[in-house]
Amino acid sequence: MSARTRAGHWVIATSNAGKIDEFQALLAEAGIELVAQGALGIASPPETGPTFVENALIKARHAAQATGLPAIADDSGLVVDALRGAPGIYSARYAGVASSSADNVVKLLAAMREVPSSRRQAHFHCAVVALMDAADPAPFIAEGFWVGEIAAAPAGEGGFGYDPVFFDPVLGITAGELDAATKNRVSHRGQALRRLANWLDGLTRSPATPGDRPRLIHRPRAAPQKRKRYTI
C-alpha cells in the first residue's frame, strides 16, 4: 500500500448532502481527502442487506469497485420501539422509494399518533465501514447509537431526515434544534465517525511498508445505553 493511498483520496459512498457535511466536519483532522461518490458520477446501489452493517458494506464495496479508491460508507436509520424497530433500515424510503424527508416524517407521526408519551422511545443507529479496496476481507466497522424519543410535532430547522421529530430528553430539544457542532458531538454518526477518525489517524501515521497491510479493527455492536448528560 503506497503512502499516497494511506493519506490520499477516499470516496464517501453517499450523495446525501447532510451526511457529506457531517463526514467532512468529523473527519477534517484525519489526514485524508474525501470526495463524494456523486461528484464522480456514481449512483447508489440497491440496499438489499437486512442490517445497517450489511447495507454499509454494500455501499462501500460498490463505491470502491467503481472508483478504485478506498471507500467509506455508513448506513443509518431511526429505530422506534413502539413500531417494532421501524422504520429501521428503510428509514430513507419509509413513505416510499421516491419519498422526501418530509413525507417520511408525516408517515412516522401518523403511525405514532395514538402512542402515549411513555412509549415513544427511539434511537438513531449508525454503522460506518471503511474498505481499502472492493475485495477487502477485513473492513473497519464502527457503530453508534443516539437514544431519544419521538416528538409529537416537528421542531427546528437544522439537520436533516427525522431530526425535527427526534427529541433528546437530556438536552431537552430535538435534533433539528441543535447546532451542527453539538449534534456532531452527541449523535450516532458522530460517535461512529470519531472511532473511524481514530483508526484513520493510526493508518496515516503508520510507516508505509511495501506489502504490509495495517490491522483493521472490528468494533462489535453494543446495545444502546443511557448516556451522560451534555450541556450546550
143 vs 202, higher pLDDT: 143
- Specify whether the CB–CB gap between 183 and 159 falls below 8 A: yes
- Is pLDDT of 226 > 80? no
Residue where the block lists cell 469497485: 65
Q: Which residues are catalytic?
A: 75
Output the pLDDT for position 225: 52
pTM: 0.83
- Is pLDDT of 216 > 50? no
- Is pLDDT of 95 > 70? yes
- Is pLDDT of 111 > 80? yes
pLDDT-derived band at 204 (thresholds 50, 70, 90) equals low
- pLDDT tens-digit map of 129-160: 999 999 999 999 999 999 999 999 999 999 99
Output the pLDDT for position 17: 84
User: Among 2.60.40.10, 3.30.540.10, 3.90.950.10, 2.60.410.10, what is the CATH number of 3-205?
Assistant: 3.90.950.10
Instruction: Using alpha carbons, select from 15, 22, 20 the residue that is nearest to residue 45.
Output: 15
Q: Where are the domains of the chain?
A: 3-205
